[in-house]
A and B are shown apart, each in its own frame.
Chain A
Amino acid sequence: MKKIHLQEIDGNSTGYLGLLAFLGAFVLAALGSTYYMEHNGHWVTGMNNQIVWGMPHVFAVFLIVAASGALNVASIASVFNKKIYKPLAPLSTLLALALLLGGLMVLVLDLGRPDRLVVAMTYYNFKSIFAWNIILYNGFFLIVGIYAWTNLDRTMKKYSRYAGFVAFIWRLALTTGTGSIFGFLVARSGYDMALMAPMFIIMSFSFGLAIYLLVLMAAYNWTGRPLGDVIIMRLRKLLGVFVAAVLYFVIVYHLTNLYATEHHGYEAFILLGANGGGTYSSIFWVGQILIGSLLPLAMIYAPGVANDRKTLAAACVLIIIGGLAQMYTIIIGGQAYPMEMFPGMEVLESTFADGQVAQYSASLPEIMLGLGGMAVAMIAVAIGIKVLGFLPQSLDDAIADPHHKAE
């Protein structure tokens, strides 16, 4: 294996500036949306007292989960000492930090009082999983930041393995915390399950790697740097395993719920669209299962499907769409299903929505805020690879693959 050279991109081309302008437009739209929602109050969104977390949280939680997953490639290099992944590690750390930044931006701007961020940072109720998440997010920035430093600075290289190990443990803790925000909720039928934490971890592997692959291929394609097939094909197979694993966890989650009679109502709501759950069952079956799981699996594994990068990129896009659909089903579907206020009674009509399916349709400002978070993450990556050498000059097979044999 030859020496890897990390080098900044030029970042002066029209294409690069155009990309920044394109993403910047989304950020501006997100800020405008935030101003509109904050100025008028959240009644201008689709949110109400039943659906308190709407579309912005779907994006925010997706990005936060994907952030810890994006670090996966670096973890394979440092913790499991796989040489072929080592040149990929710097971009992995950058993408992880960028996605978390985007996710947290959406999360904070969707708070009732984003101006009280300092209160959230200074008052901690250690019984709250939400407070633990604030600590985990801040710690992630610090630890992954140090880890990125050890990857970029040759004098710090000797600490890279240790930093990578701490970052790996921390990212598992972070996604456990994010999953437990839902897993610890006893009041609502769709949650209250320990499986949420490991399911979120496996979701992070899948979403994070899909975004990583897209960014990697785009960065090398647009900068004209060589990117060998060995790395892409390895990551492709890994992605397939992760998508299948997410599907497995989803099946176990629903089977567990189906076994308990008390959750039958919720399962009928999500799986069959009973009692007004039609939107959620469509999003589940079409968005999460078909688009997010089965199609990508077929595109990765099915014999006869073109084994090229375009198909892989399309599969990655589908996984991201499916991931957002999964978040929507979990977050919005779980809130829309009514709480069991009158056990044993069927509520046909209610004056203030008690015992009834909550109505929600995402408003444009909410969607723009979420997309703005994605744009912020991508801008951070674009600027990151311009100012620091996160990208190897070449990931040609001859350079990247330790087992490469010259033909």
Chain B
Amino acid sequence: MTQLALVIDLNVCVGCSACVTSCKEWNTSGPAGFMSDDNPYQAEPTGTFFNRVQTYEVGCFPNTETIHFPKSCLHCEDAPCVPVCPTGASYKREEDGIVLVDYDKCIGCKYCSWACPYGAREFDEHQKVMKKCTLCVDRIYDESLPESERKPACVLSCPTSARLFGDVEDPESEVSVAIREEGGYPLMPEWGTKPSNHYLPRRKQHLHIHEDELIRADNPLKKEERQPSGPVDAPTLDDSTSW
């Protein structure tokens, strides 16, 4: 079984929204488009996005940190949006596990939007059908593209490589290794929907430098018994003393 999915590293996501714009750019001109964008520069912009980056400040001041949280359809293994669709327009592909909407069968009843616990569904105001992330299904199998580019637009555009793409059912895939070794977790597993997209947690980097690491033990000046250029705590060009 194959289950394509994204793994998003919250530790390195800088919230630049390159994934949002590249997603919209690719998909608005493809079979999933167009994607509405009304009043984009006014007080109440509306539009369809398959992927949105939410930014949260977590914690209480002064112990706060900013987390950028990109969210799109999680392509659940047991997707609650699929069984509720009256016409079967919402479906999950057997071959790669991508959850898609058949725009020709969607009647726009929006019941799938009620059923998705992640709020990933977006109603297109102009085409009047329900839309969501397709994992760039029109791109990842396109053999006219170089193999390195057969990835979702958001993955290719991410400047910090915070987005990984692959088969989460293959234990040796890049995404599976990342989930296994970096503590990847699904969003709200308690729903039992088995979301395929995973998130890698924030990992705090603490740099521990011992004091003696700052003093060069093999300082050649010592051998030559020359006097130090200044006191130990005086600033130097390379942050290490000359002692």
Contacts and interface: CB of A to CB of B under 8 A. Distances in A.
B169 interface: no
B242 interface: no
11 contacts: A48-B46, A113-B108, A113-B128, A119-B105, A119-B107, A124-B86, A124-B87, A125-B88, A128-B86, A185-B115, A352-B52
B111 interface: yes
Contacts of B142: none
Contacts of B56: 347, 350
A120 B87 CA distance: 6
B114 A350 contact: no
A195 interface: no
A133 B55 CA distance: 40
A186 interface: yes
A185 to B, nearest CB: 6
B176 interface: no
Interface residues of A, number: 44
A332 B38 CA distance: 25
A130 B86 contact: yes
Contacts of B71: 354
B117 A187 contact: yes
Contact of B114 (A123, A133, A187): A187
B48 to A, nearest CB: 9
Given A43-B46, A131-B86, A187-B80, A49 B113 contact: yes
A66 B32 CA distance: 40
B8 to A, nearest CB: 15
**Candidate in B56, B109, B117 with the most chain A CB atoms within 10 angstroms:** B109
Interface in B73-99: 80, 83-89
A253 interface: no
B191 to A, nearest CB: 7
Given A119-B105, A187-B80, 9 more contacts: A52-B110, A113-B107, A120-B87, A123-B89, A123-B105, A124-B86, A128-B84, A131-B86, A133-B86
Contacts of B85: 125, 128, 130
A186 B107 contact: no
B128 A112 contact: yes
A354 B54 contact: yes
A258 interface: no
A345 to B, nearest CB: 8
| B interface majority secondary structure | loop
Interface residues of B, number: 45
Contacts of B122: 49
Interface in A95-135: 111-113, 116-117, 119-120, 123-125, 127-131, 133-134
Contacts of A343: 188, 190
B131 to A, nearest CB: 10
A103 to B, nearest CB: 14
Interface string B135-149: 000000000000000
Interface in A158-199: 181, 184-188
A365 to B, nearest CB: 14
B164 interface: no
B80 A186 contact: yes
A112 B123 contact: yes
B129 A113 contact: yes
A92 interface: no
A127 B111 CA distance: 13
Nearest to A191: B114
Contacts of B87: 119-120, 123-125, 131
A134 B109 CA distance: 12
Contact of A43 (B104, B108, B125): B125
A186 B54 contact: no
Q: Which 10 A-B pairs have the closest CB atoms?
A: A112-B108, A41-B125, A112-B128, A187-B117, A131-B86, A130-B86, A52-B110, A125-B88, A127-B83, A123-B87
B116 interface: yes
Contacts of B84: 127-130, 184
Nearest to B126: A41
